Chain A
Amino acid sequence: MSMFRAKKLDIGSFVNVKVIRDHTKRKVFAEYEPERQALRYIIQNTTLPARTRAEAQLQLTQMHCYTRPTQIRGRCLLGGKGRGILRDFRLSRYNFRLQALSGNIPGVQKASW
């Protein structure tokens, strides 16, 4: 959402709309994490009155979807692809192959066994 998006570009990787969106989601999640955790704590704390807990549930569901951790998705650093990402390298499978073959990833070689 544009209200969360940074006014100036603040990432240095491959840039397209989806990458910027994912980056924004990460920042928003980090910003609102204490609030989410506090609400979750209130909801799960059975010693608090039921109405308080219900109110907390309401507030948690009303929070913006960008504050959810499930919105964050790994994206390729070199191509911005959202699928087929190797987590160890944060690259898509094809970019990983290119980089590995040109020897840019330390220690990674072609395997045969």
Chain B
Amino acid sequence: MLMSTRSQASVADPKTDQLQLTNELPDPALENDVRLPRSVQALYLQPLRRETEYGVPSCDLQLRSYSIPNLEFFCDFALRAAYYLNLPAFGPVPLPKIIERWTVPRSHFIFKKSQENFERITRRRLIQIRDGHPETVQVWLAFLQKHAYYGIGMKANMWEYSPLDTSKQMDSELPSMQKSIDEKMELLGQSKVLGTVEKVKELLESERFKHTA
């Protein structure tokens, strides 16, 4: 299709009916009058926000970084993503800085008088989502994780609201979820089971312990 248009354009008389193949304005003088598309223009403005209806918090996202520009940029990105997912977002709230300091001697032991101070300041921002549907919030978090920015750590707390007999429902769902839960839990904390219990049994049945009981 494209090929045929091109050939037609080349065959056609250049002065009478030339097909416009490039994305340029017919008159270059008009360039200043043309506005940017709204979605592009929005990038130059503060991020848009959705209104809350009830104000019930559903997710707290904490962002941490050592550098402010990266952090501000990613907060902005997160807020925009929340807007387009229809999530009312609040923030970024600047949380207290975490300042760690280390003092080390500049050289050998005997020159203890001359020391040097180093510090690491972790900046934190909090973005809260209110009235979000848990699934949408998860989509948002997954999107942020997919487009994670360098040098920025994220952690999120999520809250869900469910009917009173939650335990019964969870019990019924457990068999189907077991596999995915095990997969996730393997990545968390200790992956290795210590095996103390088996070891105790083995020891108590061993030759050295048998005669003591």
Q: Taking beta carbons and an 8 Å cutoff, which residues of A are in contact with B?
A: 33-35, 37-39, 41-42, 49, 51-52, 54-56, 59, 86, 88, 93-94, 96-97, 100, 106-112
Query: Do B213 and A38 have beta carbons less than 8 Å apart?
Result: no
- Report how many residues on chain B are interfacial, defined by Cβ distance under 8 Å: 30
Ordered by A's residue number, 8 sampled pairs between the chains whose C-beta atoms are within 8 Å are A34-B194, A37-B196, A38-B196, A94-B104, A94-B107, A97-B118, A106-B66, A107-B121
| Interface flag for B212 (CB, 8 Å) | yes
Using Cβ atoms and an 8 Å threshold, which residues of chain B touch A88? Answer: 100, 102
Evaluate whether A97 and B106 lie within 8 angstroms (CB atoms) in the complex, with A42-B204, A56-B203, A88-B100 already known: yes
Within 8 Å by CB of B208, from A55, A110, A112, lies A55
Q: Report the Cα distance A97→B103, complex, angstroms.
A: 9
Instruction: Give the secondary structure class of B's interface.
Output: mixed
Q: Taking beta carbons and an 8 Å cutoff, which residues of B are in contact with A?
A: 66-67, 100-102, 104-107, 116-122, 151, 194-196, 198-200, 202-204, 208-209, 212-213
**Cβ-closest chain A residue relative to B203:** A38
Evaluate whether A108 and B120 lie within 8 angstroms (CB atoms) in the complex, with A41-B200, A93-B104 already known: yes
Query: Do A106 and B118 have beta carbons less than 8 Å apart?
Result: no
Using Cβ atoms and an 8 Å threshold, which residues of chain B touch A33? Answer: 194
Q: Report the Cα distance A27→B105, complex, angstroms.
A: 33
Apart from the given pairs A34-B194, A34-B198, 9 other A-B contacts in the complex at a CB distance below 8 Å: A38-B196, A42-B200, A54-B212, A55-B209, A56-B209, A88-B102, A107-B66, A110-B116, A112-B117
